[in-house]
Chains A and B, each alone.
Chain A
Amino acid sequence: MIELQHYLILSAALLVLGLVIIVSKRNAIAILIGVEFILNAANLNVVAFSSQGIGGLDGQTAAIFLIVIAATEAAVALAIFLNFYNIIATIDVDRGDKLRG
């Protein structure tokens, strides 16, 4: 039987995995993938609580919103990366430190 904690553990694992990807990867696409990991970790959490009968269908609804947000976010991020590439001629995010203080 899959319990709520199993979902939460998976979710936490996904979150940490996403964080590690963001921190360790230099490739912008990889970082985007990390972001998706984290988003989906959150999604999993929401759905998991919903499946346990907490809050009715709110969790399911929120999950659908989050998927849409993740999609738009990915679109915006890809557009930023294209511009990033146009300016710096690479997608290595460590090279793009123009916003540093």
Chain B
Amino acid sequence: MIPYALIIAWLLPLGGFAVLVFFGRRIGEPGAGILAAGLMIASAAIALVSGFNWLGLNTGGATTLSLKIPWIYIGDQAMDFGVRVDSLTIVMFTMVTVVASSIFVYSVGYMHGDKRFARFFTYLSLFGFSMLGLVLADSLLGLFIFWELVGVCSYFLIGFWFEKQSASDAAKKAFIVNRVGDFLFIVGIATMFSMTGNLTLEGIFAKVREGAFAGHDTLLTFAGICLFFGAVGKSAQFPLHVWLPDAMEGPTPVSALIHAATMVAAGVYLVGRIFPILTVPALHFIAYIGAITLFGSALIAIVMTDIKRVLAYSTISQLGYMILSLGIGGWVAGLFHLITHACFKALLFLGSGSVIHGCNGEQDIRKMGKLHAKMPITSITFLVATLAISGVPFLSGAYSKDAMLSAMLGFSWVHRAHWVLFLVPAVGAAITAFYMMRLYLLVFHTSARDHHVHDHAHESPRVMWLPLAFLAVLTVSIGWFGSLPQQHQGASGETAVAAGSGLIGLIADAQPQWAVSRQSSNAPHGDPPAPPPEGARAETGAASAGSHEGSHGGFHLAATVIATGAMALGFLLAFLTYSFGVISPEQTTRRLQPVYRLLVNKFYFDELYRATVVAFVLKLAAFGRWFDRKILDGIADGSARWVTRTAFFSGLTLDNKGVDGAVNGAAELAFASGNIVRKGQTGRIRTYVLTMATLVAAVVFYIGMYHYIY
């Protein structure tokens, strides 16, 4: 039942897309938006109902419902188009539809007056369909198809205002950078298929478990890292993070939906899905990529002055947290953070969109300030999200961040060599609090630095602030749902129902019970402190999410204290700098000039890529041009010349002289012989008679002589 309901919910946005793509222009504004938003809300309603049904039928353990339709046949091997529903699917599906619904509604207000209003909702609907398909897909192939679909929607929407050169450049950049990751992704898929002969997740896991990669550990690591690179591209992880900040050229609802809440989180979702086949080295790789990303982008976020770019780097940083958390085995915590982050980051982006809308397109936070009085609702909701992302206790962000940090602390406690993997996120938490509070203060408080912007600023219409309020409520409360199951953790028998009643419990239900990494005995990489025995689901889920027993509780408490302390430190610094003026940002900047320069230029990554990859590609293109011009054209020209010559030869010599000669010759022969013969036809009777007489005489003579000769 539930898979069918979800399929219907999944196809609703596709229906919206189909209608809008053909009749969008006729439906116009605001009909197109209302249609798309209505369908998405219906989809969300179905998802919520399915979710509650799920809670009702879930009797413990990781239940998986699947539905398969035979799709492609390769030889006698059928590839099914399958839908796989487990509790993670339900949670993701609900999150995507709910967040998308509020963003769709918001867009009706935000895109008001745009000349391509209907087209915007066409793309949004297509994106909704693709993203939900990505969540539902049960095979790497299905994942990849929808992976590309969301990619192309992202491309369309970043370049939505394609008249702007920067927007169309950003769209191309996003698409091309994602290609790098997708290429490795498909290499990983191909590796998996060649080794296991299967593309469904279940099938691959079963085959790997049976030992399809026995003796090929390196290959399995390689495949895992290749698959992970798909996530690196899509989730904007180092070193493919460069596209996400530029993607902010798209309309703000797009940034909120695609480049903060859902699509970029698909990479994290992918890593969560393929988690069982990730080996220890692959997980280490993933963890360090996440750590580098979260730290570097948090630093950059401090110095950005464009409101959306601050949020973009913040998104990259938070995605880094999730990736790191998955990398060290904090599966539940990472995916829990994915859900909470989707809510508050969507809220932050919608808030920034509201600010931009209110300030008539101004995005520079240096020109804002003191907007709190002008747009109180935006300000308050923005503050809620800021507090949540910074990890203020009892808001959603705090629960997920504490869960992640406790997992990281536990991990580095056991694996002392990897102490960085706790230090970096802990410091990152402080930086996060600092840059988010800096953003909030600069935009909504401090002084009005640009009076022109300030005077014209106004609160957004209701259609825009209602979604803000809705998401704010969600941001505050979603963590409470998540925290519920912790109180019911006990013997595993009846706890499952209780565990299933909360968000963390739901996610934990879906946690893979088996993983390659936990099998290798000498390098335990699972949840701290020791690899749990197979089947201890509640144990593994709870451990990373913050269990209450023994040392786990200690880790959790310590992590909470450290995270809260880091958050407080960040806030304190931000207040000191921007509210009380104890620390002058200008002086600090001047004192740390080289560091500042480095950060403002985003660690020179764009320049680095321009100097290496882009330059290489340009060189290659120039070589290709040269090769084309000189060699290929040379060959072509040469053969053309040869053909011309042959043609001239055959034309002038063969045809003109030979064929025509034969024809003309025959004609001339006939003409000449006719000329000779016509001499005899004088028109004079005399000649005729003479000729006739002579010939007759000759014949007679011949007949007469005949007897003598023979």
List residues of chain A with CB under 8 Å of any chain B CB. Answer: 19, 22-24, 31, 93-94, 96-101
List residues of chain B with CB under 8 Å of any chain A CB. Answer: 674, 677-686, 689-690, 693
| Structural contact, A22 and B682, CB atoms closer than 8 A | no
- Residues of chain A with a CB closer than 8 A to B686's CB: 22-24, 93-94
* Min CB–CB distance B681 → chain A (angstroms): 3
- Residues of chain A with a CB closer than 8 A to B684's CB: 93-94, 97, 100
Q: Assuming A23-B693, A101-B680, A101-B682, what are 15 further A-B pairs, CB within 8 angstroms?
A: A19-B693, A22-B686, A22-B689, A23-B686, A23-B689, A23-B690, A24-B686, A31-B685, A93-B684, A97-B682, A97-B683, A97-B684, A101-B677, A101-B678, A101-B679
* Min CB–CB distance A87 → chain B (angstroms): 13
* Min CB–CB distance B525 → chain A (angstroms): 112
| Structural contact, A99 and B681, CB atoms closer than 8 A | yes
- Residues of chain A with a CB closer than 8 A to B680's CB: 101
- Residues of chain B with a CB closer than 8 A to A94's CB: 684, 686
* Min CB–CB distance A27 → chain B (angstroms): 12
CA distance A7 to B686 in the complex (A): 27
* Min CB–CB distance A7 → chain B (angstroms): 18
| Structural contact, A22 and B677, CB atoms closer than 8 A | no
* Min CB–CB distance A45 → chain B (angstroms): 14
- Residues of chain A with a CB closer than 8 A to B685's CB: 22, 31, 93
CA distance A99 to B680 in the complex (A): 12
- Residues of chain A with a CB closer than 8 A to B693's CB: 19, 23
Look across to chain B and name the residue whose beta carbon is closest to the beta carbon of A93: B685
CA distance A68 to B689 in the complex (A): 23
- Residues of chain B with a CB closer than 8 A to A31's CB: 685
CA distance A98 to B594 in the complex (A): 115
- Residues of chain A with a CB closer than 8 A to B678's CB: 100-101
- Residues of chain B with a CB closer than 8 A to A100's CB: 678, 681-684
CA distance A96 to B685 in the complex (A): 9
CA distance A19 to B680 in the complex (A): 19
CA distance A97 to B686 in the complex (A): 11
In order of increasing CB-CB distance, the 5 nearest A-B pairs are A101-B678, A100-B683, A97-B683, A101-B681, A99-B683
Q: Which interface residue of B679, B682, B683, B685 has the most chain A CB atoms within 10 A? A: B685
Look across to chain B and name the residue whose beta carbon is closest to the beta carbon of A98: B683
Assuming the contacts A101-B677, A101-B678, asked whether A96 and B689 have C-beta atoms less than 8 A apart, the reply is no
* Min CB–CB distance A59 → chain B (angstroms): 21
CA distance A22 to B685 in the complex (A): 8
Look across to chain B and name the residue whose beta carbon is closest to the beta carbon of A99: B683
- Residues of chain A with a CB closer than 8 A to B677's CB: 101
* Min CB–CB distance B694 → chain A (angstroms): 10
CA distance A22 to B693 in the complex (A): 11
CA distance A96 to B681 in the complex (A): 13
- Residues of chain A with a CB closer than 8 A to B674's CB: 101
| Structural contact, A19 and B689, CB atoms closer than 8 A | yes
CA distance A19 to B697 in the complex (A): 12
CA distance A100 to B685 in the complex (A): 10
- Residues of chain A with a CB closer than 8 A to B679's CB: 101
* Min CB–CB distance B699 → chain A (angstroms): 15
CA distance A99 to B678 in the complex (A): 11
Look across to chain A and name the residue whose beta carbon is closest to the beta carbon of B687: A23
CA distance A93 to B679 in the complex (A): 18
CA distance A83 to B683 in the complex (A): 17
Q: List 16 A-B contacts (CB under 8 A).
A: A22-B689, A23-B686, A23-B693, A31-B685, A93-B686, A94-B684, A96-B683, A97-B682, A98-B683, A100-B684, A101-B674, A101-B677, A101-B679, A101-B681, A101-B682, A101-B683
* Min CB–CB distance A52 → chain B (angstroms): 22
CA distance A23 to B682 in the complex (A): 14
* Min CB–CB distance B703 → chain A (angstroms): 16
CA distance A42 to B658 in the complex (A): 57
- Residues of chain A with a CB closer than 8 A to B690's CB: 23
CA distance A100 to B678 in the complex (A): 8
